[in-house]
Amino acid sequence: MTAADRASDEGQGWAVWLRSAGRYIREHPGLIVSLVIIGSLLATALLAPWIAPFPNDAGTATNLLATLQPPGGEHPLGTDLVGRDVLSRVLFGTWSSVGTSLLVIAASLAIGVPIGLFSGAVGGWVDEILMRVVDIFLAFPSLLLALAIGAALGPSLEHAAIAIVVAWWPWYARLMRGEAAAIRGRAFIESGRLLGLGQVRLATRHILPNAAGPVVVQASLDLGGVILTLAGLSFLGLGARDPVPEWGLMVEQGRSLFQTHPWVAIVPGAAIMLAALAFTLLGEGLRERLDPKGATRR
Amino acid sequence: MTMRRLLLRRLPQTLLVAIGVGLVAFGITRLLPGDAASTWAGPRASREELALVREQLGLDLPLPEQVVRYLAGLVQGDWGVSIHTRQPVLDDVLGRLVASMELVIVAMLIAVVGGLLLGMAGARWKGRWPDWLASAITAILVSAPIFWLGLLLQLTVATELDLLPVAGRYDREFRDAVGEGSTTGLIMVDALLSLNGPLLISSISHVILPALVVAAYPTGLIGRLARASLIETLGEEHIRMARAIGYAERTILLRFALRPSLGPVLAALALVFGYALGNTFLVENLFDWPGLGSYVADSISTLDAPSIAGATVVVALAYLAANLVVDLLRPMVDPRLR
Amino acid sequence: MNDVTMNDTTMNDTTINATPTKDPVAPLLAVRELTVEIGGVTLLDIDELETDRAEIVGLVGESGAGKSLLQAAILGLLPVSARVTGSIRFDGIEIVGASRRTMHEVRGGRIAVVLQAARAALTPTLRSDEWIDRALSLHDVPKAERAVRLAHALDAVRLDPRLLHRYPHQLSGGEAQRVSIALAVALRAELVLADEATSALDVTVQAEVAELFRELRASEGTAFLLVSHDLALVAGLAHRINIIERGRIVEHGGPEILEHPADPVTQALVAAKPALPRADATAA
């Protein structure tokens, strides 16, 4: 095989790869779009201090000479009531809104998954009691539970995050418990038990990988929900406080100005929508692969 | 299984959860910052007055006794007295609940009809432009922050275009009529019952905008669920058979595929109800709607523990009731579940 | 052959012995030079396939051979993206490219279908009597006549009328299959496409249904196109058998092809037992 042949073979290889990639994109547009958006969000969250034109505006800096500037020029998305650059604040807000939501989901998983796993794997009256507790938490609509707890704890971004975690972990516990209980009955677990494997090792080695699929799907879908809930809490004044550039808070700050200076509220709201949309699409795209049986609640 | 058996099965579980709900509500009241007694008595109260209030509220009793006293009170209808309205919490909360429910019910109706239409469009023309459009719409509805949506609609429809009222539940001129003719507390229903045309129109025009906003997320959710469920049903053998029998595609969608597909939608309905109820909380202060949401907002700012607890309990109970109703409805819609 | 709007009720009124008013020599179903292409791939390429009136014809092949696609073509139910050339004539009516109005009478009313999954084929949320009644109504059978036709059909398929009050999930496989067949009889279908109609039933019920087909052919004059992978079963019933492989008819003839299969595909089908995967034909 000559070098020319080898080269043309390689060229063919790239073309084939491109074509199949193109086909994949056309067949799964939602997934690709969501990944692109999420990638951008993560990049923004990490790189905000460097790409934002007025990084200090995300903190305590104010510019009372340039308040309520309409979008254009130095401030592509305008400025708010105290002259802060909206674009910069929105970019920094990625960390406050999306970043916090990621942490909330991570914490909810960290609490809910082990509890559900334990409950489902062990069964018996332990299972019954734990699931009753979960039921009690799930008896409240999530937003309202988070609201009540947030109110009790006092307004701050951290408290809002904690409140949401308290409201959210039961979903994962119940989901995980369902999967674990189903797998518990399967043959190879039985044989595992006969061989005398330790309970914990049993659980993590066998149940976790199988049950992971629906949990991952649910978590992705929930990220959108958590972002919206967090924004909602901040909007009500129970979450982040000024000057934290959390998107929900920014919408609230722009509320009274909406008729005359709409951009102050519109921009952060659009950011919330974009992020929630990305994670919803991600979750749905993953669902086909990871949870075809539909164990997730949405 | 029969409806009675289903109810009997669910009752002990529901009861247990209800008690748990009461406990959580109690816990929240104790978590709230501030001393309940001084909040109640006011900043100028003397030490004796404070002690008296403390005794009245039962704050000097040991904790387990307080819990029992609170739970017993809930059952008997004594939910405490609201600090900021000075009314019994139960009365407050029930009245406000009805107002919120009016919003939620209208929103749910919009959501079910709208969601099913979107889902049907997506399933019927799967892969073609109506599907893309319907999917885009539901995706946006599910992702848009509701308070933002409310602001946008308020600005465009109400303020700029002046098509609908900006806020409130009815025009001020009807205030007396509402007080007199109130049977259900649902103003639209009452207006219908008392044949008060102008009030009916006024209340409908006031409810449309907030209901649309509250309905946004549920519509999107139902739309996506319905589409997925319909597509799955349309792939089933009995649909293939119906086509071979000669039914038109539209008939197949509406008469053969729709009902068997309602299962997942119905299952999610209770959840959706919960979301809608939560959403009203976000929206009520935007539209000056005198429901539970604004009540809770006021209670939070005044650190009114009994009110917050009472509102929490009633919401949880409403949610539990919704779940029960949905579970009872499911076998009626799909005979396979009987 | 004139085949404008089929206002023809004469066929429906004929008894088994009366000669049809149409040309007695022309087949009931005639597929000629039919090609079906989807997504650039030619999935069907059939030179000739015929069914006469009151004849049982078999179409045998493995899954993926094109059996379902051919049925869809006959019913005019191919996907929108399919490119079709050639002709499918049913009683002189051209089905390829037919209008919706033409197909309204033919599909379901004159050509009926019986599917493999007997219970799954019935609408789960309807009782069987409602299911049949609606289908009769769709095909413009006047209300007064429906009860008569139903009674006759139940008699012909030997189905207890009380079973009609049940939902599909309350019926056995054999009972559900009889419901489908009863519908075909009530609609006075001249041709029944039996798509693996017995494959999912157990052996005794299979034999009953096969016997039922034979009876209906004699009593109602119904023609059957038995579509199946089970050559032995088809050979026991059919007057003529077509073997289909990769969209083409590779062999056709009477039941004697079972004894002397000419084509290797047929040979493989003869040799294969129904439940096991067949030996790789390409190795031949």
Three-class DSSP labels, B282-318: HHHHHHCCCCHHHHHHHHHHCCCHHHHHHHHHHHHHH
pLDDT for A203 equals 63
pLDDT tens by residue, A176-203: 888 877 776 664 556 655 444 566 566 6
Between positions 195 and 214 of B, the ones with CB within 8 A of A are none
pLDDT tens by residue, B132-162: 899 999 999 999 999 999 988 888 887 777 6
pLDDT, averaged across chain C: 84
B60-64, B120-124, C9-13, C228-232, range with the lowest pLDDT: C9-13
Query: Is residue B180 scored above 80 in pLDDT?
Result: no
- SS3 of residue B144 by DSSP: coil
Q: How far is B144 from chain A (nearest CA, A)?
A: 5
- Return phi, psi of residue B38, to 5°: -70, -30
Query: Between helices B146-153 and B197-234, what is the axis angle to 10°?
Result: 130
Chain A residues whose beta carbon lies within 8 Å of the beta carbon of residue B279: 143
Burial of A29 (C-beta count, 10 Å sphere; 0-12/13-18/19+): middle
**Record: contact A298-B28, CB cut-off 8 A:** no
DSSP chain C: ---SS----HHHH--TTSPPSS-TTS-SEEEEEEEEEETTEEEEEEEEEEE-TT-EEEEE--TTSSHHHHHHHHHT---TT-EEEEEEEETTEE-TT--HHHHHHHBTTTEEEE-SSHHHHS-TTS-HHHHHHHHHHHTT--HHHHHHHHHHHHHHHT--GGGGGS-GGGS-HHHHHHHHHHHHHHTT-SEEEEESTTTTS-HHHHHHHHHHHHHHHHHH--EEEEEES-HHHHHHH-SEEEEEETTEEEEEESGGGGTS--SHHHHHHHHS-TTSPPP-GGG-
**Record: contact B274-A251, CB cut-off 8 A:** no
Q: How far is C117 from chain B (nearest CA, A)?
A: 7
Chain C residues whose beta carbon lies within 8 Å of the beta carbon of residue B240: 115, 121
**Record: contact A143-B281, CB cut-off 8 A:** yes
pLDDT tens by residue, A273-284: 999 999 988 888
- B287 close to A (CB below 8 A): no
Q: Look at A62 and A142; give whichever has higher pLDDT.
A: A142
CB pairs under 8 A between A and B: 137
pLDDT tens by residue, A41-56: 888 888 888 888 887 7
pLDDT for C37 equals 92
**Record: contact B246-C108, CB cut-off 8 A:** yes
Chain B residues whose beta carbon lies within 8 Å of the beta carbon of residue A248: 145, 147
Chains C and B lie in contact, requiring 3 or more CB pairs less than 8 Å apart = yes
pLDDT for C151 equals 93
Q: Which of C124, C125, C135 sits opposite B245 (nearest CB)?
A: C135
Q: Which of A133, A140, A273 sits opposite B144 (nearest CB)?
A: A273
- B127 close to C (CB below 8 A): no
C→B contacts (Cβ < 8 Å), by residue, are: 75, 77, 103-104, 107-109, 112-113, 115, 117, 120-125, 135, 138-139, 167-169, 180, 183, 193
pLDDT for C279 equals 42
Q: How far is A218 from chain B (nearest CA, A)?
A: 14
DSSP chain A: --HHHHHHHHHHHHHHHHHHHHHHHHH-HHHHHHHHHHHHHHHHHHHHHHH-SSGGGGTT---TTSTTPPSBTTBTT-B-TT--BHHHHHHHHHIIIIIHHHHHHHHHHHHHHHHHHHHHHH-HHHHHHHHHHHHHHHTS-HHHHHHHHHHHH-SSHHHHHHHHHHHHHHHHHHHHHHHHHHHHTSHHHHHHHHTT--HHHHIIIIIHHHHHHHHHHHHHHHHHHHHHHHHHHHHTTSS--TTS--HHHHHHHTTTTTTT-THHHHHHHHHHHHHHHHHHHHHHHHHHHH-TT--S--
Confidence class for position A107, pLDDT limits 50, 70, 90: very high
Q: How far is B119 from chain A (nearest CA, A)?
A: 15
Distant-in-sequence, close-in-space partners of A20: CB < 8 Å, separation ≥ 6: none
Q: B280 and B292 in contact (C-beta within 8 Å)?
A: yes
C-alpha distances in angstroms, A88 versus A147, A267, B186? Answer: 29, 11, 46
Query: Is residue B60 scored above 90 in pLDDT?
Result: no
Residues C137, C154: Cα–Cα separation, whole Å: 17
- B28 close to A (CB below 8 A): yes
This prediction has a pTM of 0.81
- B278 close to A (CB below 8 A): yes
Q: In what order do the strands lie in the sheet with C41-51?
A: C41-51, C29-38, C83-90, C93-94
Chain B residues whose beta carbon lies within 8 Å of the beta carbon of residue A147: 278, 281, 296
**Record: contact B145-A273, CB cut-off 8 A:** yes
pLDDT for B23 equals 83
pLDDT, averaged across chain B: 82
CB pairs under 8 A between B and C: 60
Chain A residues whose beta carbon lies within 8 Å of the beta carbon of residue B264: 294
Chain C residues whose beta carbon lies within 8 Å of the beta carbon of residue B238: 120-124, 168
Tell how many helices (H) and how many strands (E) occur in chain B: 15, 0
